[in-house]
Amino acid sequence: MEAAKIQDFKWNKLDYDFEKNEMKICIHVNINETIYLTLVQRYKELLGGGGDGGSEDVPYDINAHISEIETDDIDTEYMNSRFEKYSKLLVQPNVTAEEMQNVLDELHKSFASLSQEEQKYANIFLNDVQSGNIVMEADKTLRDYITEYEVNAKNDQIHKMAEAIGVDEEQLRNFMSSVVNENNINEFGRFDSLKATVNISKAQQYFQQKDGVNYSPAKIRIRVHQLLQKFILEGGFEI
């Protein structure tokens, strides 16, 4: 293949047409940049136990180079264009069920580029749209809505945790907004300070209802430590 032709070779298509000796040749490849980065995203999630935030060892050899590839913005333009097409169909008259389903299928396929967590909120948002629980704003993209739903969900999770065990909500929220790992979680005694704000009576009620066990105050403090540490390191979860 000529050098000029190689330079023209792009990374965004699956089919490439060439002409050689007055013959047209079509070459089909199995992967483009979007597919590649989507697979990298799934690969990286193996480090988190499949996206559940787990910290257990993964029974695979994870290539460090691959896990560092940036996948935060995989083909967002394409996903937003599918969403825009879907949004326009919603307000158009005489749209058939088949047409709507085809556009929805395209939109759902574009979700593969998102993390598992983001896919969850994208689907929740679409369910709200379909059920009429939300009025869409013209200047918002699908990515905007996903981020908004994710932020609201995290805020709700933090509030529920504060209510459940009586921990100081502001301190917990500040903790969740900082970069924390197992090595620095108690830097300057900040995790101990957070645990000291827990209402042991409320925590005892929570764990008794959750586990069906009447723990001693000493055991409650251990359970509080485990729960808060897991909650912070995993970036929150439903309790």
Task: Enumerate residues 6+ apart whose C-beta is below 8 A from 198.
Answer: 165, 166, 167, 224, 228
H/E stretch holding 16 reads: strand 15-20
> Pick from 96, 98, 97, 126: which is nearest to 110 by CA?
126
* Residues 199/178, Cβ–Cβ less than 8 Å: no
Integer Cα distance of 143 and 151 in angstroms: 12
Query: In one letter, which amino acid is 124?
Result: I
As given in the structure block, the two tokens for residue 26 are 């079509």
CA atoms within 13 A on the CB side of 140: 14
Question: Could you read off the pLDDT of 183-215 as tens digits, one per residue?
Answer: 999 999 999 999 999 999 999 999 999 999 899
> Pick from 139, 151, 100, 142: which is nearest to 122 by CA?
142
H/E stretch holding 77 reads: helix 76-90
Integer Cα distance of 239 and 227 in angstroms: 10
pLDDT digits (tens), the chain, 239 positions: 444 444 444 566 777 777 777 788 887 777 776 667 667 766 666 655 443 334 445 455 555 555 555 555 556 777 888 888 998 888 888 889 999 999 999 898 888 878 888 899 999 999 999 888 888 888 888 889 999 999 999 999 999 999 999 999 999 999 998 888 999 999 999 999 999 999 999 999 999 999 998 999 999 999 999 999 999 998 899 98
Question: Could you read off the pLDDT of 138-162 as tens digits, one per residue?
Answer: 888 888 999 999 999 999 999 999 9
